[in-house]
Amino acid sequence: MRSPSHIPKFDSFLHGGFIKPSSILVTGSCGTGKTNLCMESLFNAAKQGEKCAYVSMLSESTNKIIRTLSSFSFYDEINIMEKLSIYSISSDVMAKGDFAIFEYLNENILKNKPSRVVIDTINVLEDIESTFDERPFYKCELRAFVQNLLQEFDEQNILLMVTCETNASDMYSSLWPYMFDTVIQLGIENDGQTPHRYMEIIKEKGSDFDMGKHKFSITDDGIVF
């Protein structure tokens, strides 16, 4: 089943929208538009009646998350209360490690049976140092932890978008891209004198897509290709 991105022109690049359920990694360096892209998709899906959840792993206050977005025309306060829930995982929960994070996601997000979820950003999981039984948490366990997490979302038929901060040059050596069904890279590059933003679909499991870099700008109306 396909589910719209709710971002103009994006669905045609994806040859019909996102596959649901699936996991989408939105990767790029700092300030490339990862959060904006995910939020625009989430807000517009919520406006169409889809049950949505945004999960910040950065322990930011929900007020700050909302404030940053309120300048966009897709922002709609009423919708936030009706169909879009915003969660911020506290640094205490993050510090308790893998089991506490899994439990938080289960009890706060999965229990409410959302249709579309954004997790922003997955890099924070790389900082987990200990497990719930207070022994060191190893890199190979991180992979298994995230795989279990992705499977849980998949089994609940959720469209999951996850942001990840990587530079274009080290994207292929990163732990994350191969674990996801779809990988979308955002970047900024110089075209002669003028820098511009681009979006490139790196892979989309089970579908063809438009290859190459698609230029976009971020405006008050959101992402414009």
- Choosing from 71, 169, 173, 193, the residue that interacts with ligand ATP (CB under 6 A) is 71
* Residue 33 touching ligand ATP (CB under 6 A): yes
> Is the torsion defined by CA of 80, 81, 82, 84 positive or negative?
positive
Q: Which SS3 state, helix, strand or coil, does residue 87 take?
A: strand
The tokens describing 187, both together, are 């970047």
Q: Residue 69 or 110: which CB sits closer to ligand ATP?
A: 69
Scan residues 143-202 and list those touching ligand ATP (CB under 6 A): 165
Which residue stretch of 34-42, 101-109, 169-177, 208-216 sits at the interface with ligand ATP (rule: CB under 6 A)?
Answer: 34-42
Structural contact between residues 118 and 162, judged by C-beta atoms closer than 8 angstroms: yes
**Of the residues 32, 35, 88, 115, which one makes contact with Mg ion according to CB under 5 A:** 35
Residue 83 DSSP label: T
Based on the shown chain and the rule CB under 6 A, indicate whether residue 218 belongs to the binding site for ligand ATP: yes
Q: Choose the one of Mg ion, ligand ATP, none that binds residue 78, judging by a C-beta under 5 to 8 angstroms depending on kind.
A: none
Is residue 34 a contact point for ligand ATP (CB under 6 A)?
yes
CA 107 from centroid of its chain's CA atoms: 20
Which CB sits closer to ligand ATP, 100 or 186? 186
By beta-carbon proximity to ligand ATP, the closer residue of 4 and 33 is: 33
Closer residue to Mg ion in complex, CB, 31/49: 31
Candidates 3, 32, 41, 182: give the one binding ligand ATP (CB under 6 A): 32
Angstrom distance (rounded) from CA 23 to CA 7? 17
In contact, 137 and 128? CB cutoff 8 Å: yes
DSSP string, 134-183: SSBPPHHHHHHHHHHHHHHHHHTT-EEEEEEE--GGGGGGSSSGGGSSEE
> For residue 46, which of 5, 79, 3 has the smallest C-alpha distance?
79
Site residue total, ligand ATP (CB under 6 A): 14
Q: Binding of ligand ATP at residue 28 (CB under 6 A)?
A: yes
- Which residues are near Mg ion by CB under 5 A? 34-35
- Which residues are near ligand ATP by CB under 6 A? 28, 30-36, 71-72, 165, 218-220
